Amino acid sequence: MAIGSFTMKSWDETPYGIAEDGPKIAHAHSTNTYTGEIAGESSANYVIFYPEETVGVFRGYEQIAGRVDDREGSFVLEHVGSWEGSTVTTSWSVVEGSGTGALAGISGSGGYVAKHEIPETPVTLEYELPG
């Protein structure tokens, strides 16, 4: 298992739902910096549904370029998450076939619980690599 943390560098959210009086739907793009046993830079895209103003669910993909433990490369995580108030809970899994370099063939899952008021978020990734 790899343990690390991330700090969000940017967040750009744009509403795109068509119903003016219905719940909000949005697209968000973020960039993050990872440190620890997972280290590198990432770019993520999410689709978010807000059934209420302070409650939401989302799905997205994040590409991380850097290293996991002592192996360098990149890979993509699929996120499934929700939040209420200032707490975000995310489960993620490595997208099959997304690993490059020394991370080719990586598989696994993990996640995090983030608080909006705390800039650094601890993460876990239980992973396997071939060989």
**Is 36's pLDDT higher than 80?**
yes
- Note the pTM of the prediction, 2 decimals: 0.93
Note the pLDDT tens digit of each residue in 11-34. 999 998 777 788 889 999 999 999
**Amino acid 19: pLDDT:** 76
Containing domain of residue 25, as a range?
2-128
For 61-119, how does the pLDDT look when each residue is reduced to its tens digit (9 = 90+)? 999 999 999 999 999 999 999 999 999 999 999 999 999 999 999 999 999 999 989 99
Say if CB 98 and CB 116 are below 8 A apart: no
Q: The domain spanning residue 7 has which CATH number?
A: 2.40.350.10
Residue where the block lists tokens 């939040």: 83
Domain count, the chain: 1
Three-point CA angle 105, 129, 101, nearest 5°: 55
CA-CA distance, 8 to 34, in Å (whole number)?
A: 9
